[in-house]
């Protein structure tokens, strides 16, 4: 027994030595990686700071390869969901065309880590924040105006600024445009148009995309059970088309009965119907993951950057920052209040160019395309990349090419 314990202690000792050695090596690699990525480009800028924004010290990074380039302010999503833990790797691909300012908004990301507050977050305060940050950047960089690039919630935040202060925004770029109320009303009308027979299945797909049937339900648009059934017949037709050349996933549809959703919706105390609806949902979840129609998964599918490497070598986060990091938006009540107040419904007039990059499998893609058709701006464009809501950032080379084209237009 003593020999066994002695041998065990020896094994544990060497395992501990190996683990400690590995940690030290990783820390050394991270240290030199951070040094490399924290360099300032010749003729460029790389400055990180906390500035007082209406009583909270908020985090900014300014990075560009040529300090004379126009300035672009990036607005992350949420509200309250900073991506500064990894987005620097993407934003640097834009730094040849713009001096990029990354800002962690109120109580998010490094702002929350550095100066956490419990101040009530209101739409009015959010507007005051972006006004103050914009003014600071323009003064600091000696500019009269800047380009706004928003992601998801950031598109609403940026559009609101552009409408209120067009003299300060020379271009508005929207990644994964969040039209929300407009899109919801538009989708509800599309569901009614299909279920009530004003458009057929082919027209619905060509106009709104498969996402009409795969991301939405008909219950808000109508309470008519016959229309509910017709909608979910369209849902199965959509999956039949998508699996046409895939024998393995086509076979799943033999046991897929989307009408189970309708039956359970109208009799939610029935346990047998609940089981049938759950079974249908599990099949649809498998199909969604295979074909990219998956709201909650596949965040980095198709990404041309390594999220792990971006996080590991992040030049702006310390180990202490990581220990206190929290990726979460505002509470539901605050988030809903802000999103509602920043609605884009009825806002279609912009005094600056308006450009949109959207994932072709984003839930709002078809609705957002229609919204852009109604926009009046000196110039506008709507382009898609393959993927869902996050693809506009994770497919960073396509984003960089899109941004470069916009920059070329500004030069001309």
pLDDT at 355: 98
Lowest mean pLDDT among 47-61, 80-94, 220-234, 336-350: 336-350
pLDDT at 299: 57
pLDDT at 161: 98
Burial of 249 (0-12, 13-18, 19+ CB in 10 A): middle
Task: Check pLDDT > 90 for residue 17.
Answer: no
Task: Check pLDDT > 70 for residue 301.
Answer: no
Lowest mean pLDDT among 177-186, 212-221, 226-235: 177-186
The mean pLDDT of 349-373, rounded to a whole number, is: 91
Please provide the CATH number assigned to the domain covering 45-180+302-411: 3.40.50.1820
Average pLDDT, whole number, for the chain? 90
pLDDT at 2: 67
Burial of 50 (0-12, 13-18, 19+ CB in 10 A): middle
pLDDT at 387: 87
pLDDT at 327: 74
pLDDT band at residue 79 under the 50/70/90 scheme: very high
The mean pLDDT of 143-172, rounded to a whole number, is: 97
What pTM, to 2 d.p., does this model score? 0.87
pLDDT at 293: 79
What are the domain boundaries of the chain? 1-37, 45-180+302-411, 218-290
Task: Check pLDDT > 90 for residue 192.
Answer: yes
Q: How far is CA 64 from CA 132, 158, 160, 174, in A?
A: 22, 21, 26, 20
123: three-class secondary structure by DSSP: helix
pLDDT band at residue 5 under the 50/70/90 scheme: low
Q: Count other Cβ atoms within 10 Å, centred on residue 136.
A: 18
pLDDT at 297: 52
Spatial neighbors of 151 by CB under 8 A, at least 6 apart, are 74, 75, 76, 77, 83, 175, 176, 392, 393
pLDDT at 4: 64
331 vs 6, residue with greater confidence? 331
**Maximum average pLDDT range among 51-60, 199-208, 273-282:** 51-60
Task: Check pLDDT > 80 for residue 180.
Answer: no
How far apart (Å, rounded) are the C-alpha atoms in residues 390 and 299?
6
pLDDT at 308: 85
How far apart (Å, rounded) are the C-alpha atoms in residues 266 and 225?
8
User: Torsion-angle region of residue 314: left (phi > 0), alpha (psi -120 to 50) or beta?
Assistant: beta
% pLDDT > 90, the chain? 64
Residue with tokens 């390594």: 306
Q: What is the pLDDT of residues 266-298, one digit of tens each?
A: 999 999 999 999 999 999 999 988 888 775 555
């Amino acid at each position: 027994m003593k020999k066994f314990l002695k041998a065990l202690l020896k094994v544990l000792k060497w395992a501990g030595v190996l683990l400690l050695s590995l940690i030290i090596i990783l820390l050394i690699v991270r240290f030199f990686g951070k040094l490399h990525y924290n360099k300032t480009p010749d003729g460029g800028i790389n400055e990180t700071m906390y500035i007082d924004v209406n009583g909270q010290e908020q985090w900014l990074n300014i990075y560009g390869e040529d300090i004379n380039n126009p300035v672009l302010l990036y607005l992350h999503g949420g509200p309250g969901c900073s991506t500064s833990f990894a987005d620097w790797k993407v934003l640097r691909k834009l730094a040849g065309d713009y001096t990029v300012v990354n800002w962690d908004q109120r109580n998010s990301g490094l702002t929350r880590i550095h100066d956490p507050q419990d101040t009530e977050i209101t739409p009015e305060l959010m507007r005051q924040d972006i006004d103050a940050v914009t003014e600071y950047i323009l003064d600091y960089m000696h500019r009269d105006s800047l380009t706004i690039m928003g992601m998801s919630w950031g598109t609403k935040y940026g559009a609101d600024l552009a409408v209120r202060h067009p003299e300060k925004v020379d271009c508005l770029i929207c990644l994964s445009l969040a039209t929300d109320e407009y899109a919801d009303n538009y989708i509800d009308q599309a569901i009614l148009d299909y279920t009530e027979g004003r458009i057929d299945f082919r027209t619905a797909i060509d106009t709104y995309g498969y996402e009409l049937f795969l991301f939405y339900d008909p219950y808000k648009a109508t309470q008519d059970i016959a229309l509910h059934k017709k909608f979910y017949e369209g849902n199965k037709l959509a999956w039949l088309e998508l699996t046409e050349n895939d024998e393995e996933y086509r076979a799943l549809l033999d046991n897929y009965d989307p009408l189970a959703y309708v039956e359970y919706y109208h009799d939610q105390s029935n346990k047998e119907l609940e089981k049938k609806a759950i079974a249908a949902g599990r099949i649809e979840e498998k199909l969604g993951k295979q074909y990219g129609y998956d709201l909650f998964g596949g965040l980095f599918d198709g990404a041309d950057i390594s999220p792990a490497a971006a996080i590991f070598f992040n030049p702006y986060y310390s180990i202490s920052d990581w220990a206190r990091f929290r990726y979460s938006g505002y509470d539901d009540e605050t988030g809903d209040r802000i999103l509602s107040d920043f609605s884009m419904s009825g806002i279609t007039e912009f005094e600056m160019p308006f450009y949109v990059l959207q994932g072709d499998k984003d839930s709002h893609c078809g609705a957002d395309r229609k919204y852009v058709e109604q926009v009046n701006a000196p110039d506008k464009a709507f382009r898609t990349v393959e993927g869902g809501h996050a693809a506009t950032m994770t497919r960073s080379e396509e984003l960089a090419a899109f941004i470069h084209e916009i920059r070329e237009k500004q030069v001309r």
